[in-house]
Amino acid sequence: MTGFKNFLLRGNLIEIAVAFIIAGAFGKVVTTFTEWLTGLMPDSTSSVFGTAAQSFGAFLNAVIAFVLLAAVVYFLIVVPYTKAKERFFPAEESGKPSDIALLEEIRDLLSTRGGPGV
């Protein structure tokens, strides 16, 4: 079970899933926007105002659906994931990395002993 927890929280699985969901919803927004924009161009076979108004309504519907989906994904997936990640894998302490601190300690010991080059 620990391995599965590490797989979910350490990997980019959740980030990729969220990106996939958001990209699909945004693709719908772009598609409906281009349909609305091309609907504004006059065509000899159809009424300009009828298709443009319908396309604009579909575009607004897609934008509202995108915003609602993004809010749901953020509050139900991203926030709990971030809290779980912080709980199970806390961030490292700020300051110098341990390898730099160790190298500085070795340097200081060598300088006090009169090591090579002194």
Report the pLDDT value the prediction gives residue 101, as an integer from 0 to 100: 85
Closest by alpha carbon to 84, among 3, 8, 1?
A: 8
Q: What's the token pair of residue 100?
A: 């730099």
| C-beta of residue 18 within 8 angstroms of C-beta of residue 73 | yes
Report the pLDDT value the prediction gives residue 29, as an integer from 0 to 100: 94
Q: How far is CA 86 from CA 30, 83, 89, 96, in A?
A: 35, 5, 5, 21
Q: How far is CA 93 from CA 68, 82, 89, 97, 98, in A?
A: 37, 18, 12, 9, 10
Report the pLDDT value the prediction gives residue 95, as an integer from 0 to 100: 73
Is residue 69 within a helix (H) or strand (E), and if so which, with residue range? helix 48-73
Query: What would the pLDDT profile of 2-32 be if each residue is shown by its tens digit?
Result: 777 777 776 678 888 899 999 999 999 999 9
This prediction has a pTM of: 0.64
Query: What would the pLDDT profile of 37-89 be if each residue is shown by its tens digit?
Result: 887 777 655 555 556 778 888 999 999 999 999 999 999 998 998 888 888 77
